[in-house]
A and B are shown apart, each in its own frame.
Chain A
Amino acid sequence: DIQMTQSPSLLSASVGDRVTLSCKASQNIYKYLNWYQQKLGEAPKLLIYYTNSLQTGIPSRFSGSGSGTDFTLTISSLQPEDVATYYCYQYNSGPYTFGAGTKLELK
């Protein structure tokens, strides 16, 4: 099975900061990686699919990059509403797997 490792597990940043979240796959997943945002008490929301495609309605401050085993979610200018937990997910091959998440908080 493919393991997904996210880092850091907790990230504190200030409004306006550029924030980078990492996700590493245990084997090559090409670009079959999505990013989800989950706010407290809510269902997750799709942000980025196929590594770097921005879901409709998601602000352009969110972007994704990478391929193979190393992937990144970047928030260009952190906003207060971005406080949430972020998960990566691979769908290259089953069983499909999520990372453990990065909790993003305001400093």
Chain B
Amino acid sequence: VQLVESGGGLVQPGKSLKLSCSASGFTFSSYGMHWIRQAPGKGLDWVAYISSSSGTVYADAVKGRFTISRDNAKNTLYLQLNSLKSEDTAIYYCARGGIFDYWGQGVMVTVSS
């Protein structure tokens, strides 16, 4: 099982970014997936969930700004980040299933002017 995030970088406040999580080694379409973030020096912060049937749940802090999606044909999970704020600066991790038994290595998103 491998999860590899990409798409991070430096972005200005108010702008957008799209993160990807490429999955391999398991039947991606059978698993719900999550995004979790961690601001520098802070704790873990759950962000969003998408079920195997594409139902979604969001943290209050990102609802209406972030969109989680998946492409089962490409074995890829996405997180669209819109209207970014400085407080969205964090390492973003994707994780598998309801128990997060596998995590990616994380991708850094920095929101700054």
Interface residues of A (CB under 8 A from B): 1, 34, 36, 38, 43-46, 49-50, 55, 85, 87, 89, 91, 94-101
A95 to B57, Cβ gap below 8 A?
yes
Given A94-B57, A95-B57, the answer on whether A43 and B44 have CB atoms closer than 8 Å is no
Residues from chain B with Cβ under 8 Å of A38 in the complex:
44
Q: Which residue of B lies closest to A34 (CB)?
A: B99
Interfacial chain B residues near A85, Cβ < 8 Å: 43
Q: CB distance B100 to A96 under 8 Å? A: no
Q: Does B54 contact A (CB under 8 A)?
A: no
B105 at the interface (CB under 8 A from A): yes
> Are B43 and A44 in contact, CB atoms less than 8 angstroms apart?
no
Would you call A49 and B43 a contact (CB within 8 A)?
no
Most buried by A among B43, B59, B98: B43
A97 to B110, CA, bound (A): 23
Q: Is B93 an interface residue (CB 8 A)?
A: yes
Q: Could you say which residues of chain A place their CB within 8 Å of the CB of B103?
A: 43-45
Q: Are A101 and B99 in contact (CB under 8 A)?
A: no
Chain A, Cβ-Cβ closest to B58 = A95
Contact present for B43 and A96 (CB under 8 Å) = no
A101 near B44 with CB under 8 A, answer yes
Q: Is B87 engaged at the interface, CB distance under 8 Å to the other chain?
A: no
Contact A46:B99 (CB < 8 A) given known A95-B58, A95-B60, A96-B49: yes
Partner pick for A43 among B34, B59, B101, B105, CB 8 A cutoff: B105
Also in contact, A49 and B46, with CB within 8 A (given A43-B93, A95-B58, A96-B57): no
Contacts known (A1-B60, A34-B99, A49-B99); A97 close to B104, Cβ less than 8 A: no
Measured CA separation A80–B46 after assembly (Å): 29
